[in-house]
Amino acid sequence: MSDTFQLDGAAVPFEPGQTVMQAALAAGHYIPHLCYHPEFKPHGSCKLCTVKVNGRTTASCTMPAEANLNVESNIEELNALRRTLVQMLFAEGNHFCPSCEKSGNCMLQALGYDLEVHATGFRHLYPDRPLDASHPDVLLDFNRCILCELCVRASSEVDGKNVFALSGRGITKHLIVNAESGKLSDTDFALYDKAMQVCPVGVILPKRVGFSQPIGERRYDKRPISAQALDDAPRQVDTSGNCEACEDPT
Amino acid sequence: MLPDNDTRFDASGQAWLNQLASRHHNDASLLLQMLREMQERFGHIPQEAVSRLAGKLAIPRARIESVASFYSFLHLKPQGEYRILFSDNITDRMLGNQALLEQMCQLLWLQPGKVSEDGLVSIGTTSCTGMCDQGPALLVNGRAITRLTHQRVQEIAQLVRNRTPMADWPADFFHVDDNIRRRGLLLDNKLAPGDVLRAALALGSDAIIEEIKTSGLRGRGGAGFPTGQKWEGCRKAPGNERYVVCNADEGEPGTFKDRVLLAQQADLVFEGMTLCALSVGARKGFLYLRGEYRYLLEPLQAVLQRRQDSKLLGTDILGHKGFDFNIDIHLGAGAYICGEESALIESLEGKRGVPRNRPPFPVTHGYLQQPTAVDNVETFCQAALALHMGADKYRTIGTERSSGSKLISVSGDCAYPGIYEYPFGVPIREILQDCGAVNTRAVQVSGPSGVCVPESEFGRKLGFEDLPTAGAFMVFDDSRDLFEVARNFVHFFAHESCGFCTPCRVGTSMLKQTMDKIADGHGTQYDLNEIENLDRVLQTSSHCGLGRTACNPVLHTLKHFRPAYENKLKSLMFSPAFDLDGSLARARQMTGRDDAGAHLKEDV
Ligand SMILES: Cc1cc2nc3c(=O)[nH]c(=O)nc-3n(C[C@H](O)[C@H](O)[C@H](O)COP(=O)(O)O)c2cc1C
Ligand code: SF4
Ligand code: SF4
Ligand code: FES
């Protein structure tokens, strides 16, 4: 019998080496998350997954599971924290959901609905982040970047291309492209790259397919993210490199 | 902004770059050290040089940009030939740095944060440069100039206008005083180089660790972790190599005691590091020196060389077979977060200084994922002293749970700013008396991330029982507005947030905006509530100590000096931060108008 820890009163089994998040999702318990992706090493930056472990707050995606931990997640104090973090992410970038191609497929938006974020909360920072439309097949709209580094990780770890990196520090931190010109067209980025599939928000977009799937029939239009995320949980990649849960970019 | 025409990167620049890369064995873990040298050589890091270096090191060029852009002393765009940065700690402000900055800008015809049109000079501000006892201070091309006056600013402007090479500037400008005001067991020690190591070799590794544990020594970098326990953990952790790292990042505003130790007691620092190496079984050590202390690099390297020559470093130290240890000095480049131990290690590995996920901790997975003991400069000195004088004797100094002495960096409103060494347990009031402070309203203990102590609590004592401290002690008299103190600290945190985690990256900026809004007279009760909300988020969900403590200055001053906030508030529940009249400032500047008709009234 494997060891267990307590999550909101339920016993959750885990394998050695799993984090609290990994064990929870595998056992069918949802903990909100944004920068965590089942196929990548946990990053621990968005802090949406913050839980209380034996009374102390910590990110559950990076917290190693241990026997008999007492983990609290779905409590008002933490959901209030998560609402504020979502508000912060909205205020930091330029998000105009009604006109965004990603609307309905966006994790940030879906989390906003699921956590019942009803107000903007903060003054928006309105950063100046020009688009990059140089690539024939892909548009980069940096306005929506939440700096989760999933594309950075996918491009380097899976695609072996290192197309993306982060630049700057603090609130000036932003995504850059690996080219002296700074343009995506001067890289070997391609539509079938893993980095094309992982962006939780609407930054890395395939061109010319924007609204081919109508709003209202999209991923999180059908099911709230808390249910959807569990189906995706230990996401399996098939032999052709396709991930069932990731959206098909074409 | 100038176009990046890279005129400074010609054929000789390329040859120099090739040499730089081979001198560093094309080793990407030395990237930051190479970038720092490029910055010194070219005044910025030219685009073309980035591409070439990427080729040499076989890494993506975006990674080089990513690293360079993290550190405030590295520039990817051309800056002035003379890059002037005014230290902007609250103590510099109290000594009038803003008027001096304005004067300098006027004399050189430019605006802060801009490069002059002829590319001659750029002027800006930077976080505390560790010269609070002799401020206001600034850095010119990385070199510290202290004790600024209007006279000195004029002289500097003249030298810049004449393009006088910095080597020909008056030496007196660069003089840094040690200002030692009170000595104790550390600053009074009569040890000769090698004394401690000889005693240690006679004991052996296990006994050294036992002795350090028994001495009760706790880290002097702020957190106060028991040093013996850390060394034991490092020694026992599985690994192929072990490393010793001396944290000389000293970025906490108001702290400058490590600067003085490195200037006065370098042998003792290195002796402590070598002692640690002997006890944990390390063969390689690093001293991570903050970029602001660049001027200490050559003197420290000379001490290392002397110690090599006298068999106190290198192979078979003191003739002891197999006792090998070497120390490299790495320079930082303007990032407070690199004082956090795991961020420091990332920086040592040539990366962005982003704190790691912990566990695992550096004692088991540190530099290159190997067991690593990271300690503060002063901790290494104290360890050497404790071992030499004997744990039992050492324990008698200080208090029950805080043994030994502590160096305090005193600055602000007092007659004698400088370094004071006291046994732990000294009351604040005693320090205030010794440094000649009068009419004191508050003391900021341990810097912005520490505690603001009001007059009613001056009986409190420094030590891990009550007021732990990394050493900063900033004094504010009754002429000071504690709101402005807190606002300065909030700006500091927003500037220094590494940007990794959401709560700190966004939260510190929001906090800064809110404090500025209150300062501008637009604040309401609503904003005080927002501060409380931000504090909760920062404290509970930040990734590291920076975010977790970023609200402290506001919370503490709100608690003790609430009127300083309230008398700036409007009575309304909410007032928009959007300033109609302010938004016309640009138009006024463009049209050259500033008459009444070019302004909007508040109550429209
Ligand atoms: C934001 C931040 C900045 C820090 N800066 C420093 C520093 O400049 N110098 C230092 O010695 N420790 C600093 N620390 C503490 C280090 O992480 C670490 O605890 C210390 O170097 C351990 O050494 P010690 O045990 O000798 O105190 C900082 C911690 C944080 C969270
Ligand atoms: S582009 Fe998307 S995947 Fe990449 S860092 Fe930004 S939000 Fe994350
Ligand atoms: S708390 Fe601030 S400094 Fe620390 S990791 Fe998060 S963003 Fe970086
Ligand atoms: S999901 Fe854990 S920090 Fe982002």
If one compares A125 and B578, the residue with the highest pLDDT of the two is A125
Atom of ligand 1 nearest to the CA of B248: 9
A190 in contact with B, Cβ within 8 Å: no
pLDDT at B112 over 50: yes
Contact B357 A44 (CB under 8 A): yes
Q: What is the pLDDT of residue B575?
A: 64
B62 closest CB neighbour out of A84, A92, A162: A162
Note whether A154 and A198 are within 8 A (CB): yes
Structure token pair of residue B589: 């500047």
B110 band by pLDDT with thresholds 50, 70 and 90: very high
pLDDT at A27 over 60: yes
Distances (CA, A) of A201 to A148, A226, B93, B433: 10, 16, 43, 58
Q: Shortest CA distance to A130 belongs to which of A89, A176, A87?
A: A176
3-class secondary-structure state, position A82: helix
| Residue range B436-470, pLDDT digits in tens | 999 999 999 999 999 999 999 999 999 999 999 99
Q: Does domain B408-479 have CATH number 3.10.20.600?
A: yes
Q: Which of B48, B63, B505 to mutate to test the interface with A (most CBs of A within 10 A)?
A: B505
B578 band by pLDDT with thresholds 50, 70 and 90: low
Structure token pair of residue B77: 């765009």
Q: What is the pLDDT of residue A205?
A: 96
3-class secondary-structure state, position A242: coil
Ligand 4 centroid from CA A148, angstroms: 9
pLDDT at B265 over 70: yes
Burial class (CB in 10 A: 0-12, 13-18, 19+), B558: buried
User: What is the biggest distance separating any 2 CA atoms in chain A, rounded to whole angstroms?
Assistant: 56
Tell me the CATH architecture of domain B483-566.
Answer: Up-down Bundle (1.20)
Note whether B372 and B364 are within 8 A (CB): no
A147 in contact with B, Cβ within 8 Å: yes
Q: What is the pLDDT of residue B522?
A: 92
Q: What is the pLDDT of residue B62?
A: 97
pLDDT at A250 over 90: no
Burial class (CB in 10 A: 0-12, 13-18, 19+), B321: exposed
Q: What is the pLDDT of residue B372?
A: 98
Q: How many separate helices (H) and strands (E) can be counted in chain A?
A: 6, 9
Q: Does domain B182-395 have CATH number 3.40.50.970?
A: no
Domain definitions of chain B by residue range: 6-70, 82-177, 182-395, 408-479, 483-566
Chain A residues with beta carbon closer than 8 angstroms to that of B497: 169-171
Across chain B, mean pLDDT equals 94
CB atoms within 10 A of CB B530: 20
Note whether A60 and A73 are within 8 A (CB): yes
Note whether B136 and B81 are within 8 A (CB): no
Which pTM does this prediction carry?
Answer: 0.94
Atom of ligand 4 nearest to the CA of A44: 3
Distance CA(A149)–CA(A142), nearest Å, equals 13
Chain B residues with beta carbon closer than 8 angstroms to that of A62: 357
Ligand 4 centroid from CA B343, angstroms: 19
Strand partners, B248: B289
Q: What is the pLDDT of residue A42?
A: 95
Q: Shortest CA distance to A105 belongs to which of A242, A203, A208?
A: A203
Structure token pair of residue B146: 């202290």
Q: What number is the average pLDDT over the span A91-109?
A: 93
| Residue range A188-202, pLDDT digits in tens | 999 999 999 999 999
Strand partners, A182: none
| Residue range B476-522, pLDDT digits in tens | 999 999 999 999 999 999 999 999 999 999 999 999 999 999 999 99
Q: What is the pLDDT of residue B278?
A: 98
If one compares B427 and B7, the residue with the highest pLDDT of the two is B427
Phi, psi torsion values for B566, nearest 5 degrees: -65, -35
Contact B510 A147 (CB under 8 A): no
CB atoms within 10 A of CB B6: 15
A163, closest residue in chain B (CA to CA): B62
According to CATH, the topology of domain A1-127+213-243 is Ubiquitin-like (UB roll) (3.10.20)
Distance CA(B468)–CA(A214), nearest Å, equals 59
B62 closest CB neighbour out of A47, A165, A172: A165
A64 closest CB neighbour out of B65, B359, B505: B359
3-class secondary-structure state, position A12: strand
Chain B residues with beta carbon closer than 8 angstroms to that of A180: 47-48, 50-51, 61
Q: What is the pLDDT of residue B282?
A: 98
According to CATH, the topology of domain B82-177 is Glutaredoxin (3.40.30)
Taking each helix axis from N to C end, the angle separating B227-236 and B266-280, rounded to the nearest 10 degrees, works out to 40
Phi, psi torsion values for B48, nearest 5 degrees: -65, -35
| Residue range B522-543, pLDDT digits in tens | 999 889 999 999 999 999 999 9
A236 band by pLDDT with thresholds 50, 70 and 90: very low
A248 band by pLDDT with thresholds 50, 70 and 90: very low
Q: Where are the alpha helices (DSSP H) in B370-450?
A: 377-389, 391-395, 428-434
Label residue A216 left, alpha or beta by phi (over 0 means left) and psi (-120 to 50 means alpha): left
Domain definitions of chain A by residue range: 1-127+213-243
In chain B, the percentage of residues whose pLDDT exceeds 70 is 96
| Residue range B54-89, pLDDT digits in tens | 999 999 999 999 999 999 999 999 999 999 999 999
If one compares A229 and B431, the residue with the highest pLDDT of the two is B431
Q: What is the pLDDT of residue B1?
A: 37
